[in-house]
Amino acid sequence: MCSGSDSDPFIKAYVSSSLPSHDGLVQSLSASEWNSLVIQSKVPVIVVFIAKDCAECGSLMPELEFLDSEYEYMLKFYTVDTDEELELAKDYRIEYHPITIVFKGGEEKERVLGYYPQMLGQLANKYL
């Protein structure tokens, strides 16, 4: 995909519409996707680090899915399952769940520890 270019908006729309749908689900990132989808992103990225045994993490998903569709081309939302992505969890010092980190220009800008669904929209607006 041409995510790093300033190409024509119609081309971006066509490419985006031809990608496989996640059926309203926020994409879960792997370490192999991290650099291209977070660090090199041209738009702000909000990543929520989750774990399978974290009930609060699952409770954040409806809000994440809603915001991901609301801000579709302005910023991106992703999750990282720390049970599966141990190196990413180590690299970003994830010891508790959920932890939300905002990246802009490839750099960490803000980190929020805990379950605060209303904060997700506030972070999105703050970093647009």
Average pLDDT over residues 71-97: 96
**Smallest Cα–Cα separation from 42: which of 88, 14, 2?**
2
Please enumerate in sequence order all residues whose Cβ is within 8 A of that of 50, keeping only pairs 6 or more positions apart, or say none: 57, 58, 60, 79, 80, 81, 82, 97, 98
Predicted confidence (pLDDT) at residue 17 exceeds the cutoff of 70: no
Alpha-carbon dihedral of residues 6, 9, 15, 18, nearest 10 degrees?
Answer: 160
pLDDT for res 5? 41
Is 2 part of the annotated catalytic residue set? no
Instruction: State how far the Cα of 12 lies from the Cα of 66, in Å rounded to an integer.
Output: 22
**What pLDDT sits at residue 70?**
94
Kindly report the CATH number that applies to the domain delimited by 24-126.
3.40.30.10
- CA-angle at 85, arms to 79 and 90, nearest 5°: 105
Q: Is 54 annotated in the active site?
A: yes
What value does the mean pLDDT take over residues 100-108? 97
* Domains in the chain: boundaries: 24-126
The catalytic position among 26, 45, 48, 57 is 57
- Of 32, 24, 49, nearest to 113 by C-alpha is 49
Provide the residue type at 83 as one letter.
Answer: D
Instruction: Please report the pLDDT score of residue 25 as a whole number.
Output: 82
Q: Are strands 76-81 and 27-28 parallel, antiparallel or unpaired?
A: parallel
Q: What percent of the chain has pLDDT over 90?
A: 78
Catalytic residue chosen out of the listed positions 31, 43, 54, 119? 54
